[in-house]
Amino acid sequence: MPNLKDIKRRIGSVKNTQKITSAMRMVAAAKLRRAQDAIIAARPYAKRMYATLGEIGKRQTDAEHVLLQPHEQLRVLEVVVVTSDRGLCGGFNSYALKAASKVIEEQGAEFDRIVVTAVGRKAAEYFGKRTDVVRAWTGMATIEYANAVEIAEHLSARYEAGEIDGAVLVYNEFISAMTQTPNADTLLPLSVEEEVGEAGETVVPFEIEPDANALLNVLVPQALEFAIYRALLENQAGEHAARMTAMESATRNSEDMIQSLTLQYNRARQAAITKELVEIVSGAEAL
Amino acid sequence: MAIDLTVVTPEGQAYDKAVESVVLPGVEGAFGVLSGHEVFMTALQTGEMTIETGAETLYAAVSKGFAEVHEDVVTVMVGSCEFAHEIDLDRAKVAAERAQAQLEEMRGTDEGEELYQEYQEAYSKAVARVTAAERG
């Protein structure tokens, strides 16, 4: 029989843990709201950009951009893996890492070499031990567009220089507070057609200045930046949602644990009292 | 006569109001848009945007993007848009000086074109912020 003091101490420690997990749950819930707002704020931009991109694609079929051109030889593939910086969010990061490993395995046949760019500390740690990590971005507190621009520039510079012949982006897509699914999107060569499907109504401009190619020079990098930005936002919202769910069940589990420990404590207390009574009675009888 | 101006950035809608006129930094030089402007579309470079609302003049620093002018509706899509009152002038000045120093350091060395363009972009961004903040 464990002694009373030990059980009491355990109950105290579980209660403390419960306080922490429920606080984390609330923080995650608040952050999730903000992350969702950011996703919604990005929508009008996405709609406009894809509409314009589609418009240009339609009227100027010969317009070309280096980021749209597939390379003849497929030598190096860069896989960009997006995870969170912190753990304690259930299986969230391991899903993304698993999906990335799968991509690496599958593409291994087509490309000679596969390199990884990690966004988020979890990805950096995981792939740091396994493959070539070209660059790692960690410690982004809140996602800003500038973060995405930096990553996009890194990729497009390497693509243009012929250092890489393709890029795939792996991240968790935020579907709801309960579900996040890992996604693998091809970033480079960028395909316009795919994106245009999402476009809304289009405004038909009569004149493009200076010409469609110049506009494409602005639009294509923007589309790349935006695709990365969106992944970062999705990842951020997904992280908080996953943490919220994980912390909720942790809080519930500790509640169960407290209950069973309290039961154990009461039993032990009763046993002790009974024992004392028996001792007193038998002592009195002996007299 | 007023025009409907909408400025959209990935981080949200930065501006959405009826204005008298707007001056935008096009890739081939700044251009103004008044009511009844020709329908067209153009790429924008990093620079300064000036909005005349009729009651006041607003200045903002915008980064690369494009603009669509369509029957008194102007849509500006840029990576970032900061209005003068949102910019910390001292910090913008420091950033501009740093960017200039980086550019000058590069002069004479045969570093990559990429890096040069990156610095150039940072410099024009910083200058745009400083001028916008000073005017506003």
User: How many CB atoms are closer than 10 A to CB B60?
Assistant: 28
Q: How far apart are CA A27 and CA A21, in angstroms?
A: 10
Closest residue, chain B, to A49 (C-alpha) = B77
The CATH number for A189's domain is 3.40.1380.10
Residues B76 and B111 in one domain: no
Q: Is residue A267 part of a domain?
A: no
**A76-82 and A166-174 as β-strands: parallel, antiparallel, unpaired?**
parallel
Q: Is residue A90 part of a domain?
A: yes
Q: How far apart are CA A242 and CA A245, in angstroms?
A: 5
Q: How far apart are CA B34 and CA A63, in angstroms?
A: 30
Q: Check A205 against B11: CB less than 8 A apart.
A: no
Handedness of CA A134, A135, A136, A142 (dihedral sign): negative
Q: Which residue has the higher pLDDT, A42 or A197?
A: A42
For the stretch A94-136, pLDDT in tens is: 999 999 999 999 998 889 999 999 999 999 999 988 887 888 8
Prediction ipTM score: 0.76
Work out the angle between the directed axes of helices A212-286 and A92-107 (0-180°, nearest 10). Answer: 130
Q: How far apart are CA A147 and CA A117, in angstroms?
A: 14
CA angle A219, B61, A190 (to 5 degrees): 15
Q: Is residue A259 part of a domain?
A: no
For the stretch A249-265, pLDDT in tens is: 999 999 999 999 999 99
Residue A205 has pLDDT above 60, yes or no: no
Residues B10 and B42 in one domain: yes
Chain B residues in contact with A52 by the CB 8 A cut-off are 41, 66, 68, 77
Active-site annotation holder among A7, A81, A89, A196:
A89
Q: Exposed, middle or buried: residue A85 (CB in 10 Å: 0-12, 13-18, 19+)?
A: middle
Q: Check B64 against A146: CB less than 8 A apart.
A: no
Residues B16 and B56 in one domain: yes
Q: How far is CA B128 from the centre of its chain?
A: 7
| Helix/strand/coil for B101 | helix
Residues B117 and B52 in one domain: no
Residues A187, A227 contacting (CB under 8 angstroms): yes
Q: Which residue has the higher pLDDT, A56 or B7?
A: B7
Is residue A234 less than 8 Å (CB to CB) from chain B? no
A89 catalytic, yes or no? yes
Q: How far apart are CA A148 and CA A138, in angstroms?
A: 13
Q: How far apart are CA B102 and CA B11, in angstroms?
A: 29
Q: Is residue A107 part of a domain?
A: yes
Local confidence band at A200 (pLDDT 50, 70, 90 cut-offs): very low
Q: How far apart are CA A114 and CA A118, in angstroms?
A: 13
Q: How far is CA B4 from the centre of its chain?
A: 18
For the stretch A162-177, pLDDT in tens is: 899 999 999 999 998 8
**Domain containing residue A232:** 26-195+208-244
Q: Is residue A169 part of a domain?
A: yes
Q: How far apart are CA A168 and CA A189, in angstroms?
A: 9
Is residue A146 less than 8 Å (CB to CB) from chain B? yes
Residue A197 has pLDDT above 50, yes or no: no
| Helix/strand/coil for A128 | helix
Q: Is residue A258 part of a domain?
A: no
Residues B9 and B68 in one domain: yes
What is the DSSP secondary structure assignment for residue B38, as one 8-state letter? Answer: P
Q: Helices marked H in chain A — which ranges?
A: 4-59, 92-107, 121-128, 145-160, 192-196, 212-286
**Domain containing residue B112:** 88-135
Is residue A147 less than 8 Å (CB to CB) from chain B? no
Ranges of beta strands (E only) in B45-129 are 47-52, 57-62, 65-70, 73-78, 81-83
Residues B79 and B111 in one domain: no
* Partner residue facing B12 (CB), from A41, A219, A226: A41
Q: Is residue A16 part of a domain?
A: no
Q: Is residue A277 part of a domain?
A: no
Task: Please report the pLDDT score of residue B112 as a whole number.
Answer: 67
- Separation in Å, CA A265 to CA A9, A14, A257: 11, 14, 12
The structural domain count of chain A equals 1
Percent helix / strand / coil, chain B, rounded to 5: 30, 45, 25
Residues 6+ apart with CB under 8 A from A21: A247, A250, A251, A254
The structural domain count of chain B equals 2
Residue type, A152: A
* Partner residue facing A209 (CB), from B8, B28, B64: B28
Mean pLDDT of the residues in chain A: 87
Residues B79, B63 contacting (CB under 8 angstroms): yes
Q: How far apart are CA B110 and CA B92, in angstroms?
A: 28
Q: How far apart are CA A200 and CA A51, in angstroms?
A: 6
Residues B132, B61 contacting (CB under 8 angstroms): yes
Local confidence band at A14 (pLDDT 50, 70, 90 cut-offs): very high
The CATH number for B15's domain is 2.60.15.10
